[in-house]
Structure formats: C-alpha cells, structure tokens
Amino acid sequence: MIENFWGNAVFSVVPTIALAVMFWLMLRSILRADRTERKVYAQIEAEERARLGLDKPVT
C-alpha cells in the first residue's frame, strides 16, 4: 500500500510541476524578448534623433 501511495503522489505532482516550469519558461522568454525589443527601439530612436539634430523628442 505504501509503494502505491508514494507512486500516486509522485505521478500527481510531477505534471503540475512540469506545466508550471513550462509556463515560467515561456513567460520569461516573452518578457526578455519585449525588454530587448524596447532597448533596440530606444537605441534606433536615439540614433535618429541624433542624426536629425533633435535634443528632445517632439511631443
């Protein structure tokens, strides 16, 4: 009975942990991609402002 209990406990917890890890990895990659995209966009925007001779962005 004990072997069955621990086997069931492991098989009950492992899928939940696996899904949580996959969700965390996907969310982490999305946030990193967004951060990188914003950094590159800001860099391109700064280069364009410097090229046009603008000190501040026009609002």
Tokens, residue 24: 């965390």
CA distance 12 to 26: 23
Q: How far is Cα 20 from Cα 27, in angstroms, rounded to an integer?
A: 11
Residue 20 burial (C-beta neighbours within 10 Å; 0-12, 13-18, 19+): exposed
Q: Is residue 16, in this structure, part of any structural domain at all?
A: no
Sorting pLDDT into bands at 50, 70 and 90, what band is 4? confident
Q: What is the pLDDT of residues 31-46, one digit of tens each?
A: 999 999 999 999 999 9
Instruction: Tell me whether residue 58 is in a domain.
Output: yes
27 in a structural domain? yes
**48: in domain:** yes
pLDDT tens, residue by residue, 14-26:
999 999 999 999 9
**Residue 46 in domain:** yes
CB neighbourhood size of 49 (10 A): 14
* pLDDT for the residue 56: 63
In the structure, what pLDDT confidence band is assigned to residue 5 with cuts at 50, 70 and 90? confident
Kindly state the tokens that stand for 54: 């603008």
Domain count, the chain: 1
Structural domain span for residue 44: 23-59
Give a yes or no: residue 35 inside a domain: yes
